[in-house]
Amino acid sequence: MPPKPWTTRASREVYRNKWISVREDLAELPDGRTTIYGVVTMGRAVGVLPFLPDGRVLMVRQYRYVARENQRWEMPTGGIHAHETPEQGAQRELGEEIGYTAGRLTPISTFYSSKSVCDETCYLFLGHDLAPAAALPDETEDLEVAALPFDEVLDLVVRSEIRDAMTVIAVLHAARLHSG
């Protein structure tokens, strides 16, 4: 029998900006006790692992403020706008970050980035049949783009040099699909 759900007794917004909101809920457990529960809502995110015809992957790196680092490669990722489908968000992110669109997007995974405190659903795609598009990065993005051999990217994931969850999951899915 599945665990019984909790009941939200009260909820209040604590903080909001254009990327996230934070709320504090008063939750009642199945046995009647209550607890305070913090929830960070980020909405929906998308990532695309874009393949060139020769099997190399276009990767980006940028300064990541929270991790305080700028040396790790990741695939193009970002938030999905309210009016967009995951596929539309994927194409927009490809254009913004690497200056391409994908002729073919293959969905490979949908997952929760952190189901215990974050309300964010991530949609992952493989991108093929890339065509040049105008790169229009967000105002806070300063990106380096490189084409890396897929085997090198997989090795970076295995060695924990790539730590971005969306990239790790997409690369492992791509490796599984490639070997199967």
Q: Which of 84, 139, 144, 161 is catalytic?
A: 139
Q: For every residue of the chain, which 3-state class applies, written as one string?
A: CCCCCCEEEEEEEEEECCCCEEEEEEEECCCCCEEEEEEEEEEEEEEEEEECCCCEEEEEECCECCCCECCCCECCEEECCCCCCHHHHHHHHHHHHHCEEEEEEEEEEEEECCCCCEEEEEEEEEEEEEEECCCCCCCCCCCEEEEEEHHHHHHHHHCCCCCCHHHHHHHHHHHHHHHC
Active site residue 139: yes
> Which residues belong to the active site?
139
